[in-house]
Amino acid sequence: MSDHPWSTGTSFAEALAGAAKLTDAALDRLIAVPQGLEARVFEAMRYAALAPGKRLRPFLVLASARLFGVSERGALQVAAAIELVHSYSLVHDDLPAMDDSDLRRGRPTCHKAFDEATAVLAGDGLLTLAFEVLAHPDTHGDAAVRCELVSTLAQAAGASGMVGGQMIDLIAENRSLDIGAITRLQRLKTGALIAFACESGAILAKASTEVRSALRGYAHDLGLAFQIADDLLDVEGSAGETGKPVGQDVAAGKATFVSILGVERARNQAELLVRQAVAHLDLFEKRADLLRQAARFVIDRRT
């Protein structure tokens, strides 16, 4: 795909930065502030979505689309949509009713910079905008493909996916979960959205079920590795590195992969998951090199 932000030989860091730049430009265009008193909710949406995040999910969308040579315009719409959903989840997760966090992406959280009610509305606005973006003809010329993207993202983000995972996470504050239950929680809370990102290129390309299931297998292992790395950062990282408070899981007495397995075994498990994730990509040969590097990145990252 010649118009993608990277070509053969581009390093992973350059590709991630390129994807972030394109995603930010798309978000900037999609969240335009109108005239009128409602402008405040758009300002809060921009504050949350354009804050400096890694843009890993948009990267995965673009890398997945690249496997099939689909157009950049459509892939970018999907990349922006998933970042809108992710940003909404962070805004709501930080609210006093949930994690009650003051710091996100190195800045005051949305409800601190604005106010709680505005942050609730900003999250709602981001979530609904994501589906407006997917339903737009710019996303794909075929309405059936747009419909499938809408339906697949809705399942990943909703009560059978991320929202369900967040519900279990809240319950876990007062109940000790075993490793199986924690794995399921994280598959829903973090893994479902990552799985959508990885599969989206195949949906845009109307690819075969064999190819889609390979990408889902990759995403499944990648999502768990990502979460173990997140748990390790909560124990070993600093707020300066991660841009969010650390030590929260331990303080809340929450069961995590690290609290159950210990640091050493958790790290070994993450390594194993990365090897498993990469093995799912064999059928794509060299075309999947950036996805292979992404798997390494999720466990080596410090943010």
**Interacting residues with ligand GRG (CB under 6 A):** 53-54, 56, 86, 89-90, 92-93, 105, 162-163, 166, 189-190, 230
Contact criterion met (CB below 8 Å) for 130 and 85: yes
Nearest-approach distance from CB 166 to ligand GRG, in angstroms: 4
Amino acid (one-letter) located at 51: A
* CB closer to ligand GRG, 77 vs 166: 166
* CB closer to ligand GRG, 154 vs 163: 163
Closest by CA position to 125, among listed 28, 35, 48: 48
Calpha distance 78→200 (Å, rounded): 8
Residue with CB nearest ligand GRG?
Answer: 53
Nearest-approach distance from CB 194 to ligand GRG, in angstroms: 9
Nearest-approach distance from CB 39 to ligand GRG, in angstroms: 25
* CB closer to ligand GRG, 77 vs 227: 227
* CB closer to ligand GRG, 127 vs 205: 127
Cβ-defined contacts of 276-279 (< 8 Å, 24+)? 276/221, 277/217, 277/218, 277/219, 277/220, 277/221, 277/222, 277/225, 278/218
* CB closer to ligand GRG, 169 vs 199: 169
Nearest-approach distance from CB 129 to ligand GRG, in angstroms: 16
Eight-state DSSP code of residue 103: E
Calpha distance 54→303 (Å, rounded): 8
Eight-state DSSP code of residue 190: I
Nearest-approach distance from CB 100 to ligand GRG, in angstroms: 12
